[in-house]
A = this chain, B = another copy of it.
Amino acid sequence: MIEETAAHVHTFLRRRRVLLLAALLCVAHAWAQPLPSWNEGPAKQAIVRFVTGVTTAGGPDFIAPEDRIAVFDNDGTLWAEQPMYFQLAFMLDQVKAVAPRHPEWKNDPAFRALAARDHAALAAMGPKPVLKLLAVANSGMSVAVYDKTIRDWLATARHPKFQRSYTELVYVPMQELLAYLRANGFKTFIVSGGSVEFMRPWAEKAYGIPPEQIVGTITQTKLTVVGGKPVLMRSPKIDFVDDGPGKPVGIYRSIGRRPIFAFGNSDGDWQMLQWTAAGEGPRFMGLVHHTDAEREFAYDRQSRIDKLDNAWDEAVAKGWTVVDMRKD
């Protein structure tokens, strides 16, 4: 009887051990499978092959952790950007919000056309008068007040197509890619044509990228003293445009090392990809190709904003990785 019980216990324990082992193996397997929402295909294979190469100690492609710099465009690469850049939607809403403080706008043709949604009039006058309005509406306050305005807008504004908050429109596969790179010793940066202050309030939560790792377009700010306290005030001027040929400049100014991994989605990222490719040793250049009209948007060479044309040609010619959003 005792022997029998002992045998049962023994079997039970062995079974439990087997179950436990199986469970652990499953966990380990899941952990070991990077990029779970990416389909098996050339894009995922190229990423995993590159990361495995640069992290294999003693291997021919090994790169020290401090040099594992990865840069990502934001609009259209990490989150959606249609039907208009989300920051532009915010800045236009700002025009509406501050209009009561600008009675002089009542006679401004650009303001009247915007208010009336008169697309023909807006097209006829070109972008300059609208940009001037945007600059005025988005300056003249402290950086703290502006930061709060951005946060409040993000908390309430909804995307016209998806009826969800803009910060929900980040791409899960790219979140996985960022996490996978960081788990492999990479330091991840955003290098965006958007302005730094618009990305900082939400990028840490959405992407795990802290404010100091966001490179972007810079608005002029000036230190003033208000009530004995130092205050940074926003000017309507742009100090630095981090787009196109500005991206390698922004990377040099703010990061100071050449990336070994870069991801974009349009010709605004072309020079950043070229700058990354021109370094010595192993490099990864990737492009997101928007092909999924059903779940998102489909656009490339003929797009009104952020077209993918020259960078696509070079990607094909040089064997950069092009991610098909629908298939990959």
Chain A interface residues (CB < 8 Å from chain B): 66, 69, 143, 187, 189, 196-197, 200, 204, 210-214, 218, 221-223, 229-230, 232, 239-240, 245-246, 248-249, 252-257, 271, 274-275, 278
A290 to B252, CA, bound (A): 34
Residue in B200, B222, B246, B248 whose beta carbon sits within 8 Å of that of A249 in the complex:
B222
**Which residues of chain B are near A246, meaning CB under 8 Å?**
223
**Which residues of chain B are near A212, meaning CB under 8 Å?**
69, 187, 189, 213, 254-257
**Which residues of chain B are near A248, meaning CB under 8 Å?**
223, 230, 232
Q: Say yes or no: A245-B218 contact (C-beta < 8 A), given A212-B255, A240-B239, A255-B211.
A: no
Q: Which residue of B lies closest to A203 (CB)?
A: B256
**Which residues of chain B are near A211, meaning CB under 8 Å?**
255-257
Q: Beyond the given A66-B204, A211-B255, could you list 9 further A-B residue pairs with CB under 8 A, ordered by the A residue number?
A: A66-B210, A196-B253, A196-B256, A212-B213, A212-B256, A218-B253, A230-B248, A230-B275, A239-B240
**Which residues of chain B are near A218, meaning CB under 8 Å?**
253
A240 to B220, CA, bound (A): 11
A66 to B223, CA, bound (A): 25
Copies in the complex: 2
A252 to B196, CA, bound (A): 10
Q: Does A230 contact B271, Cβ atoms closer than 8 Å?
A: yes
**Which residues of chain B are near A230, meaning CB under 8 Å?**
248, 271, 274-275, 278
Q: Does A229 contact B278, Cβ atoms closer than 8 Å?
A: yes
**Which residues of chain B are near A189, meaning CB under 8 Å?**
212
Q: Does B274 contact A245, Cβ atoms closer than 8 Å?
A: no
Q: Say yes or no: A252-B200 contact (C-beta < 8 A), given A187-B212, A230-B275.
A: no
A-B contact pairs, 29 of them (CB 8 A): A66-B210, A187-B212, A189-B212, A196-B253, A197-B256, A200-B256, A211-B256, A211-B257, A212-B213, A212-B256, A212-B257, A221-B249, A221-B252, A221-B253, A222-B245, A222-B249, A223-B245, A223-B246, A223-B248, A223-B249, A223-B271, A223-B275, A230-B271, A230-B274, A230-B275, A232-B248, A232-B249, A239-B240, A254-B254
**Which residues of chain B are near A222, meaning CB under 8 Å?**
245, 249
**Which residues of chain B are near A66, meaning CB under 8 Å?**
204, 210
**Which residues of chain B are near A275, meaning CB under 8 Å?**
223, 230
A240 to B212, CA, bound (A): 18
Shortest distance from the beta carbon of A234 to any chain B beta carbon, whole Å = 10
